[in-house]
Amino acid sequence: MYDKSQLMRGTLEGCILKFLSEETTYGYELVERLEQNGFQDIKEGTIYPLLVRLEKKGIIRSEFRPSPLGPSRKYYSLTPDGFEYLQEFTENWKQIEASVNQIFRLEE
Protein backbone atom coordinates (compact mmCIF):
# COMPACT_ATOMS: atom_id res chain seq x y z
CA MET A 1 0.00 0.00 0.00
CA TYR A 2 1.24 3.51 -0.85
CA ASP A 3 2.77 5.46 2.05
CA LYS A 4 2.03 9.13 1.50
CA SER A 5 4.07 10.37 4.49
CA GLN A 6 7.15 11.37 2.44
CA LEU A 7 5.03 13.24 -0.08
CA MET A 8 3.12 14.96 2.71
CA ARG A 9 6.21 16.05 4.64
CA GLY A 10 7.55 18.27 1.87
CA THR A 11 4.12 19.55 0.97
CA LEU A 12 3.25 20.41 4.56
CA GLU A 13 6.55 22.22 4.98
CA GLY A 14 5.69 24.54 2.10
CA CYS A 15 2.15 25.11 3.36
CA ILE A 16 3.37 25.93 6.86
CA LEU A 17 5.87 28.41 5.48
CA LYS A 18 3.14 30.04 3.39
CA PHE A 19 0.94 30.47 6.47
CA LEU A 20 3.86 31.89 8.47
CA SER A 21 4.64 34.34 5.67
CA GLU A 22 1.16 35.78 6.22
CA GLU A 23 1.21 35.94 10.01
CA THR A 24 3.04 34.83 13.13
CA THR A 25 1.12 31.98 14.74
CA TYR A 26 1.36 28.96 17.04
CA GLY A 27 1.40 25.26 16.25
CA TYR A 28 -2.19 24.32 17.01
CA GLU A 29 -3.46 27.17 14.84
CA LEU A 30 -1.31 25.85 11.98
CA VAL A 31 -2.97 22.44 12.39
CA GLU A 32 -6.42 24.07 12.27
CA ARG A 33 -5.56 26.05 9.14
CA LEU A 34 -4.24 22.95 7.42
CA GLU A 35 -7.43 21.07 8.29
CA GLN A 36 -9.54 23.95 6.96
CA ASN A 37 -7.65 23.68 3.69
CA GLY A 38 -8.21 19.97 3.14
CA PHE A 39 -5.49 18.25 5.17
CA GLN A 40 -7.89 16.16 7.25
CA ASP A 41 -5.40 13.63 8.65
CA ILE A 42 -2.93 16.14 10.09
CA LYS A 43 -2.07 15.87 13.77
CA GLU A 44 -0.02 18.09 16.04
CA GLY A 45 2.49 15.25 16.30
CA THR A 46 3.13 15.66 12.59
CA ILE A 47 3.53 19.43 12.66
CA TYR A 48 5.79 19.96 15.67
CA PRO A 49 8.73 17.89 14.38
CA LEU A 50 8.55 19.89 11.13
CA LEU A 51 8.58 23.15 13.09
CA VAL A 52 11.61 21.99 15.12
CA ARG A 53 13.48 21.01 11.95
CA LEU A 54 12.65 24.32 10.24
CA GLU A 55 13.79 26.25 13.29
CA LYS A 56 17.08 24.33 13.47
CA LYS A 57 17.67 25.20 9.80
CA GLY A 58 17.11 28.90 10.56
CA ILE A 59 14.05 29.11 8.31
CA ILE A 60 11.67 29.99 11.14
CA ARG A 61 12.09 31.39 14.64
CA SER A 62 9.98 31.05 17.73
CA GLU A 63 9.13 33.04 20.81
CA PHE A 64 6.85 32.48 23.76
CA ARG A 65 3.94 34.89 24.11
CA PRO A 66 1.26 35.12 26.78
CA SER A 67 -1.98 33.31 26.04
CA PRO A 68 -5.39 34.57 27.10
CA LEU A 69 -6.40 30.98 27.88
CA GLY A 70 -3.58 29.67 30.07
CA PRO A 71 0.16 29.15 29.74
CA SER A 72 2.29 30.99 27.20
CA ARG A 73 2.24 29.74 23.63
CA LYS A 74 5.18 29.26 21.30
CA TYR A 75 4.65 31.46 18.25
CA TYR A 76 6.47 30.92 14.99
CA SER A 77 7.48 33.35 12.24
CA LEU A 78 9.64 33.29 9.13
CA THR A 79 13.21 34.53 9.16
CA PRO A 80 14.66 36.39 6.17
CA ASP A 81 16.12 33.02 5.05
CA GLY A 82 12.62 31.58 5.47
CA PHE A 83 11.12 34.04 3.01
CA GLU A 84 13.82 33.12 0.48
CA TYR A 85 13.25 29.41 1.15
CA LEU A 86 9.49 29.86 0.61
CA GLN A 87 10.11 31.63 -2.70
CA GLU A 88 12.33 28.75 -3.86
CA PHE A 89 9.75 26.21 -2.67
CA THR A 90 7.01 28.02 -4.59
CA GLU A 91 9.01 28.09 -7.81
CA ASN A 92 9.88 24.40 -7.50
CA TRP A 93 6.31 23.50 -6.58
CA LYS A 94 4.96 25.17 -9.72
CA GLN A 95 7.42 23.26 -11.90
CA ILE A 96 6.63 19.92 -10.25
CA GLU A 97 2.89 20.58 -10.31
CA ALA A 98 2.98 21.31 -14.05
CA SER A 99 4.98 18.16 -14.76
CA VAL A 100 2.75 15.90 -12.68
CA ASN A 101 -0.40 17.44 -14.16
CA GLN A 102 0.97 16.89 -17.64
CA ILE A 103 1.77 13.26 -16.91
CA PHE A 104 -1.63 12.59 -15.39
CA ARG A 105 -3.38 14.88 -17.88
CA LEU A 106 -4.89 17.00 -15.14
CA GLU A 107 -4.28 20.38 -16.75
CA GLU A 108 -7.28 22.18 -18.13
Mean pLDDT (whole number) for 73-88: 97
Phi-psi region at 58: left, alpha or beta (left = phi > 0; alpha = psi -120 to 50) = left
pLDDT band at 60 (very low <50, low <70, confident <90, very high): very high
3-state SS class at 105: coil
Domains in the chain, start-ordered, CATH in brackets?
5-104 (1.10.10.10)
pTM: 0.89
CB atoms near residue 60 (< 10 Å): 23
| Strand ranges (E), the chain | 25-26, 60-67, 70-78
Whether the pLDDT of residue 95 is over 80: the answer is: yes
9, 50 contact by CB (below 8 A): yes
pLDDT computed for residue 43 by the predictor: 85
Whether the pLDDT of residue 106 is over 70: the answer is: no
Whether the pLDDT of residue 108 is over 70: the answer is: no
Mean pLDDT (whole number) for 21-34: 96
pLDDT band at 1 (very low <50, low <70, confident <90, very high): confident
